[in-house]
A and B are shown apart, each in its own frame.
Chain A
Amino acid sequence: AQRVTQPEKLLSVFKGAPVELKCNYSYSGSPELFWYVQYSRQRLQLLLRHISRESIKGFTADLNKGETSFHLKKPFAQEEDSAMYYCALLTGGFKTIFGAGTRLFVKA
């Protein structure tokens, strides 16, 4: 079965604290994984993809095939990081499956 699991609906951290948003996937093929972000009153937009191995806005995510995970991390959270984050899996049929999303709230 093709599935993306984000176990946390809400994650609340203090400004400056490290943050990790968890994502696990289930997929029989070679996965292509993404993190999308939705800021308040804005549309969904791509944050990063695993194949590019880049850091965007201080966020990184490493694909761990052994643990079937693609957790999103940032060493020092900022208030402007508060948003809804969706982990997504691109299937071989070029359909994207989204996780349930995690709302990150960064407190001052």
Chain B
Amino acid sequence: GAVVSQHPSRVICKSGTSVKIECRSLDFQATTMFWYRQFPKQSLMLMATSNEGSKATYEQGVEKDKFLINHASLTLSTLTVTSAHPEDSSFYICSARVNQGGVEQFFGPGTRLTVL
């Protein structure tokens, strides 16, 4: 199956700093990627849909200036948590579909962000 990677897998940062998380589709091109946030023992909450070459579509309640998404190529989307605070500590997961209109999502392994 298609493989999605994320980097880093774990990051610890100080409050006020910005953190960038990369999501790559390794063996396929993804015109659309998704970013999720997962709190402990809770479900995945869709944050935004990342579209290659255009602006991301954010879900209601997600601050676009806080969570900057860039989808510069068909294999890479980045999520930057700007001026991170402890409440941003969470597990961030990206996913991608193999092609536009495809139904199966392939997930990255996730990134654990801890803001001190």
Binding site for B on A (CB under 8 A): 9, 32, 34, 43-46, 49, 51, 86, 90, 94-101
Contacts and interface: CB of A to CB of B under 8 A. Distances in A.
B89 interface: no
Given A49-B103, A94-B32, A94-B101, A43 B110 contact: yes
A92 B43 CA distance: 21
Contacts, number: 40
Contact of A97 (B41, B46, B49): B46
Interface string B35-71: 0000001111010010000000000000000000000
A41 B101 CA distance: 29
Contacts of B103: 32, 34, 49, 51, 90
B93 A95 contact: no
A46 B43 contact: no
Contacts of B92: none
Interface of B: 1, 32, 34, 41-44, 46, 49, 93, 95, 97, 101, 103-105, 107-110
A44 B107 contact: yes
Given A32-B103, A86-B43, A100-B43, A44 B32 contact: no
Contacts of B109: 43
Contacts of A49: 103-104
Contacts of B104: 34, 46, 49
B103 to A, nearest CB: 6
A100 B42 contact: yes
B43 A96 contact: no
A63 to B, nearest CB: 14
Given A43-B110, A86-B43, A96 B49 contact: no
Given A94-B32, A94-B101, A96-B34, A43 B107 contact: yes
